[in-house]
């Protein structure tokens, strides 16, 4: 695959800023996970996401936090929960440590719905 084709694939991802409005444990998940409601602004609205981030985050500290998520993937079922967006995170310590959410710098006026790019 050429570099141009890879770049075109990347551009097809719709990665947006969202604000977590609700977070709670995802009951029934095989691995501990949280379910979140994330507001992506008036054009996209509120969507649901599940994430295995319980090692690093509790539900109470996520509410009000800005995150980045892919909003144009098809929904997936996780423990009976419809996850509509892919919340982006990185594995710390070479994959051995907790998962860290990717979030924009809130001091620069970034708001829900803003697109990566």
pLDDT of residue 115: 96
Report in angstroms the alpha-carbon separations of 116 from 13, 17, 42, 53, 89. 9, 8, 17, 22, 15
Could you tell me if 33 and 54 are in contact, meaning their C-beta atoms sit under 8 angstroms apart? yes
Residue 80 class from Cβ within 10 Å (0-12 exposed, 13-18 middle, 19+ buried)? exposed
pLDDT of 4 above 90 = no
pLDDT of residue 106: 86
How much is the pTM?
A: 0.91
Domain coordinates in residue numbering, the chain? 3-106
Could you tell me if 36 and 71 are in contact, meaning their C-beta atoms sit under 8 angstroms apart? no
- CATH topology for the 3-106 domain: OB fold (Dihydrolipoamide Acetyltransferase, E2P) (2.40.50)
pLDDT of residue 96: 82
pLDDT of residue 63: 98
């Amino acid at each position: 695959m050429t570099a141009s084709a890879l770049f075109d694939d990347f551009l097809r991802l719709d990665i947006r800023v969202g604000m977590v409005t609700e977070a709670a444990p995802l009951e029934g998940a095989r691995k501990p996970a949280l379910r979140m409601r994330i507001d992506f602004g008036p054009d996209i609205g509120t969507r649901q996401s599940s994430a295995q981030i319980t090692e690093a985050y509790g539900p109470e500290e996520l509410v009000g936090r800005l995150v980045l998520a892919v909003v144009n993937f098809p929904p997936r079922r996780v423990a009976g929960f419809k996850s509509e967006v892919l919340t982006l995170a990185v594995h710390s310590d070479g994959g051995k440590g907790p998962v860290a959410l990717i979030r924009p710098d809130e001091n620069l006026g970034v708001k829900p719905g803003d697109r990566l790019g």
